[in-house]
Amino acid sequence: MTDRPEYPGRRPQTDGLPKTEPLTPSQLRQNAAAKRMLRRLVQGESPPTAPLSIVDRLTGSPYANPMIQVGGVDTSARKTLDFVLHLAETMFRYGAGALEVETSIIAVTAALGLKNIEVDITNQSVGINYAPKDQTPIALLRVVRSWTNNYAGLAKVHQLVTDIVAGGVGRDEAIRRLDEAITSPKPFPRWLVTVAFGTFAAVFVGVLGGGPVSSAIAFVANIGISLLARQLGRWRVPDFFITASCSFVVTQLALVLWQFGLTTSPAIVVVGGILLLLPTGRLVSSVQDAINGFPVTAAGRFLSTLLTFGAIVAGIAVAFVVGELTGMQRIDVTETFPPAYDLWVLVLFVAVAVMAIGITEQTTWKLLLPTAGVGVAGYFVLLAANQLGVGDRFSPALAAVVIGLLARVVALRMGAPQLVVAVPAALILLPGLTIFRSMYVLTIEEAEILLGAGGMLNAGAIVLGTAGGIVLGDTLARPLTRSLASNERRRARRR
């Protein structure tokens, strides 16, 4: 018998046994895939105790796989680190979350050729340690001492980071563009921001069920507290007392006008005044930081948010006490308010309210209408959830998930971070009416103190659920926006 050569995919033949057919290419690929899967299950791709590369933190962000610039490793590392710290400080001042700041630092340093970077972020500081092998390490720290509303500036910084990661901007050009973003004037003048405060209150009072008179009162009251807050800020009054003073003024004004019969719904007027005082941006950032593994930053922002809520509650409570001492008639806090307008009018009011919030947060003109569209979509989800009987706590959270998801898609398409779109769109979900009623019961109705405390806990659950829903929506949208981030970077390379 002659020996036959063995061929790949052919099993050996023995006398007395049936012959087998050779394996097809498809079967060979399946066998190879099965072997690889078995090897992964048994062995694993990397040792379980191996340290995580810092560049892996960019996974899921718009800056994944940064392009290292042709010049190689930057020899003047100190200048690069100074620029990156200035960039991070600016992002923090404009309201960015800790994860966004960290990924921006890692992406920019990697794109500019710096390896061996470690980043440490707390509530008010950013630290960078650069320790190349066999060289003197450099450790730098920058403290963030002030905050401002400037979503347009935050969008410019986001676009700058995108261009750097795409390899189209060098360090010197990046320094010039960052300085330009910081020194450029905000898109809206102060008088327009003041008018936007009043406009938001007026249209949102209409959404809650107030009539034209209540909307007019809310408009005037909010312009007044906006001017009051600006003047107190010039006098260097702490933010806590500024917020407490504004909530006191708007509550006292609503009570006085109600006593004279000029409004039938003082609670709605107060809600329109305090919603813009709520620290929505900080709350969303703090929840995002806590979920993404920045406990120190989240704790600091939570404390700042809690103090702001405390200031609002204190102002409302003092106004109630003053009203009680002066013999004002008590309010029926159980009163409900049916819609005062048709649904299409309410939808229009929500869109105008969201755009007014965007103006107060100093977003860009091109983002106003898309942000309003996201807010209207969230409002429809809120109405649908209420119709289905989901509940007062879960309905805002469900609407916030949709807002967070859509906000990431819209923001990346428009060259901005998700927070810039999500925060203005989600403000309409916050339970201002529940806060007002609970504080009234806690302050005036001593026999119902447990009912008031339960109402405040319910309001807190809705606020945290809304913030968590925005973060969840952002997380769910990440797999859907990978192509958007890459397209944005390709456009930057063509420029």
pLDDT tens by residue, 282-317: 778 788 888 878 888 888 888 888 888 888 888 888
* Window from 44-53, 109-118, 167-176, 215-224 with minimum mean pLDDT: 44-53
Phi, psi angle pair for 113, to nearest 5°: 95, 10
User: What SS3 class is residue 125?
Assistant: strand
Best-predicted range by mean pLDDT (43-47, 60-64, 86-90, 431-435)? 86-90
- For residue 65, what pLDDT is reported? 59
Q: Please compute the mean of the pLDDT values over residues 232-254 and round it to a whole number.
A: 91
Closest by CA to 284, choosing from 435, 480, 98, 9, is 98
User: How confident is the model at residue 310, as a pLDDT?
Assistant: 85
Q: Which of 363, 368, 342, 366 shows the shortest CA–CA distance to 353? A: 368
- Average of per-residue pLDDT across 405-420: 91
Inform me whether the pLDDT recorded for 1 exceeds 50: no
- pLDDT classification of 25: cutoffs 50, 70, 90: low
Among positive and negative, which fits the CA dihedral 265, 270, 276, 281?
A: negative
Domain segments of the chain as ranges: 75-183, 190-489
Of the candidates 210, 140, 136, 169, which has an alpha carbon nearest to the alpha carbon of residue 70?
Answer: 169
Sort 135 into a burial class: Cβ within 10 Å, 0-12 / 13-18 / 19+: exposed
pLDDT at position 20, please? 53
CB-CB contact of 408 with 477 (8 Å): yes
Q: How confident is the model at residue 2 (pLDDT cuts 50, 70, 90)?
A: very low
Better pLDDT: 352 or 449? 352
pLDDT, tens digit (0-9, with 9 covering 90-100), for 423-482: 899 988 888 778 777 777 777 776 677 777 888 888 888 888 888 899 899 989 988 877
Which one-letter DSSP state was computed for residue 121? E
Question: Which of 463, 213, 210, 204 is closest to 335 using CA atoms?
Answer: 210
Q: What strand order describes the sheet that includes 117-121? A: 117-121, 125-130, 138-143
Q: For tokens 């940064």, name the residue.
A: 66
Read off the pLDDT band of 409 (50, 70, 90).
very high
Note whether 215 and 202 are within 8 A (CB): yes
What pLDDT does residue 155 have? 93
Q: Write down the pLDDT at residue 98.
A: 85
Q: Model confidence at 271, in pLDDT bands (50, 70, 90)? A: confident
Contacts of 108 (CB under 8 A, 6+ apart): 66, 83, 84, 87, 161, 164, 165, 174
> Measuring CA to CA, which residue among 412, 379, 418, 424 is closest to residue 398?
379
8 pLDDT more than 80: no
Phi and psi angles of residue 114, each rounded to the nearest 5 degrees, phi first: -100, 125
Strand partners, 120: 127
Tens of pLDDT, residues 371-397: 999 999 999 999 999 999 888 889 999
Q: Where are the alpha helices (DSSP H) in 364-417?
A: 365-387, 394-413
Name which of 252, 240, 303 is nearest 277 in CA terms: 240
CB contact set of 403 (below 8 Å; sequence gap of 6+): 374, 375, 377, 378, 422, 425, 426, 429, 469, 470, 473
Average pLDDT score over the chain? 82
Residues 6+ apart with CB under 8 A from 414: 155, 366, 367, 370, 421
**Coil vs helix vs strand at 140:** strand
Considering the chain, what percentage of its residues have pLDDT values greater than 70?
81
The torsion of the CA quartet 249, 253, 255, 258, rounded to 10 degrees, works out to -170
Residue with more model confidence, 326 or 383: 383
* DSSP assignment letter at 262: S
Of residues 342 and 272, which shows the higher confidence score?
342
Burial of 377 (0-12, 13-18, 19+ CB in 10 A): middle
What are the pLDDT digits (tens) for 109-146? 988 888 778 898 887 889 999 988 877 888 999 988 87
Q: What is the mean pLDDT of residues 235-244?
A: 92
**102 within 8 A of 426, measured Cβ to Cβ:** no
- Give the pLDDT score at 50: 44
